[in-house]
Amino acid sequence: MTVNHTKTILKITALLMFAGAAGREGTLAYLSSFDKKTNIATTGYNETSIEEEFPSITPTPVEKDPHYIKKIQISNTGGIKEAALSDCYVRAELSYSNSDIGNAVVLDGLNKKDWVYRDGFYYYNHILKKGEATAPLITGFHIDHHKVNAKYQALLKDFEMNVYEESVQAEGFSSVWDAFAHYSGSPAEEGGGK
Is residue 20's pLDDT more than 90? no
Predicted local confidence at residue 57, as pLDDT: 67
pTM, 2 dp: 0.71
156-184: pLDDT as tens digits: 778 888 999 999 999 999 999 999 999 87
Distance of CA 116 to the CA centre of its chain: 19
In angstroms, the Cα distances linking 57 to 122, 130, 140, 157, 164 are 25, 33, 12, 11, 22
Taking residues 53-77, what's their average pLDDT? Answer: 79
Picking from 79, 186, 75, the residue whose alpha carbon sits closest to that of residue 124 is 75
What is the predicted pLDDT for the residue at 130? 87
Exposed (0-12), middle (13-18) or buried (19+): which is 189, by Cβ within 10 Å? exposed
Q: What are the domain boundaries of the chain? A: 48-184
Is residue 64 scored above 60 in pLDDT?
A: yes
Furthest C-alpha separation in the chain: 132
Q: What is the pLDDT of residues 126-144, one digit of tens each?
A: 999 988 999 999 999 988 8
Q: What pLDDT band is residue 192 in, cutting at 50, 70 and 90?
A: very low
Whether residue 115 has pLDDT greater than 90: yes
* pLDDT score of 193 more than 50: no
